[in-house]
Amino acid sequence: MTGLFATDAAARAFDPLWDEILAVGRDPGTGGYRRFAWADADLTLREWFTGCAAARGMDVEIDRNGNLWAWWLPPGWTGEPENAFVTGSHLDSVPDGGAFDGPLGVVSAFAAVDLVRARGITPRVPVAVTCFVDEEGARFGVACIGSQLSAGALAPERALRLRDGDGVTLAEALRAAGRDPAALGPDPLLAKRIGVFVELHVEQGRALDLVDRPIALASSIWPHGRWEFTFSGEANHAGATRLVDRRDPMLTFATAVHAARGTAEKHRAVATFGKVLVAPNGTNAIPSAVRAWLDARAADEATLTALVAEIETLAGKAAAEGGIGFASEAESRSPIVEFPPEPRAKLSAALAHLGDVPVIPTAAGHDAGVLAERVPTAMLFVRNPTGVSHSPHEFAEAVDCHRGAAALAEVMAAWVR
Ligand SMILES: [Zn+2]
């Protein structure tokens, strides 16, 4: 059994598009990408998106939140698009990010449109290629701003007040890019418009490499959250204070770091302390306080709750033993996203020629996860042989990218015919 779309045809559709944006926002020193929302590289990529749409006779619409939609409407379609097959991803990056996270989904989406058209297929329902703005949250500190605003998950007043590292608010950045900050808000058309949203994404892990398969479907996004841990001790002289007289919160924090690792292993989850603030942060001073942020993710809600509770208990116990004050506060928590079985079954059927396509969870957040609250969504993952992501070393083999574009075209063709 073979599919409609050969890998070499997908290569011819995919490669020129991919090459067009390869240099945009790339730091020549590190090779990493710096494509931050509403800054120069992002604006260049938005122009590129508009050009791709124009070259295909697709009308571009910029929604109230700045997300881009390129429409391919069925012949004779009049009025608002409804019940569309929507596919795309994002074009922004983390600081020193890789080439694939985001752009792979947008390039594959345009390539899929080309492949489906080249087969002479006329869609029954509208097709849209999308780019959701500011997915990574690299500039303003909140991820998936474009999709969250449209889904009504982020209040526009809060979004507009967010500031980047230079103190520029999102409102100011929007104005500088010629956008109207007052336009931000939930998209009332979202649910009516989107029949399904399919996001193709580079895998951010090694699950596919480990089973030697190029493509997977997503089952779920792990629930995850951030907790602020505060350890309070007593500042004192690093030389003159006897060890037995110290109340050193750094020691308790170190215990908490190990507790997080051990507890995560036990629950087959992940837990990371990646951000720490030390007061007074002097080389020759015992710290008075350590504030640290725990990022924890697990396969289900109960495991995540148990994981964090155990880390808190172990940290609290170590604090009590060392005469250290301890407090923990949840800063944010994102519930599990279970991608619905119905669109996934249709995708599976469209990819039957690939054999049993693996269905895997991911521990990374995505626009598809945000939109899953409101509309049917599904995700396709493309193998990442090292699993490295959010790094210049993020990678997918060219042939796997072509297989991904072909798979997306199969899914699109099956859905819209
Ligand atoms: Zn991404």
Question: What is the secondary structure of 104-118 as a DSSP string?
Answer: HHHHHHHHHHHHHHH
Q: What percent of the chain has pLDDT over 90?
A: 97
pLDDT tier, 141 (very low <50, low <70, confident <90, very high otherwise)? confident
Instruction: Report the separation in Å between the CA atom of 160 and the middle of ligand 1, taken as the mean of its atom positions.
Output: 22
Mean pLDDT of 406-410: 98
Instruction: Report the separation in Å between the CA atom of 202 and the middle of ligand 1, taken as the mean of its atom positions.
Output: 8
Torsion angle (degrees, nearest 10) of CA 236, 238, 244, 250: 80
Does residue 332 carry a pLDDT above 90? no
Q: What gap in Å lies between CA 271 and CA 254, rounded to an integer? A: 14
Instruction: Report the separation in Å between the CA atom of 370 and the middle of ligand 1, taken as the mean of its atom positions.
Output: 12
Instruction: Report the separation in Å between the CA atom of 102 and the middle of ligand 1, taken as the mean of its atom positions.
Output: 4
Q: Between β-strands 236-237 and 325-334, what pairing exists: parallel, antiparallel or unpaired?
A: unpaired
Quick one: 367 exposed, middle or buried, by C-beta within 10 A (0-12, 13-18, 19+)?
A: buried
Residue with tokens 């590292």: 165
- DSSP β-bridge partners for residue 294: 227, 273
Predicted local confidence at residue 280, as pLDDT:
97
Q: In the chain, which segments carry CATH 3.40.630.10?
A: 7-221+338-416
Superfamily of domain 7-221+338-416: Zn peptidases (3.40.630.10)
pLDDT in tens, 162-175: 999 899 999 999 99
Instruction: Report the separation in Å between the CA atom of 76 and the middle of ligand 1, taken as the mean of its atom positions.
Output: 35
Q: Which of the four CATH numbers 3.30.70.360, 3.40.1180.10, 3.30.420.480, 3.40.50.300 does domain 224-334 have?
A: 3.30.70.360
Instruction: Report the separation in Å between the CA atom of 368 and the middle of ligand 1, taken as the mean of its atom positions.
Output: 10
Instruction: Report the separation in Å between the CA atom of 247 and the middle of ligand 1, taken as the mean of its atom positions.
Output: 43
Q: In the chain, which segments carry CATH 3.30.70.360?
A: 224-334
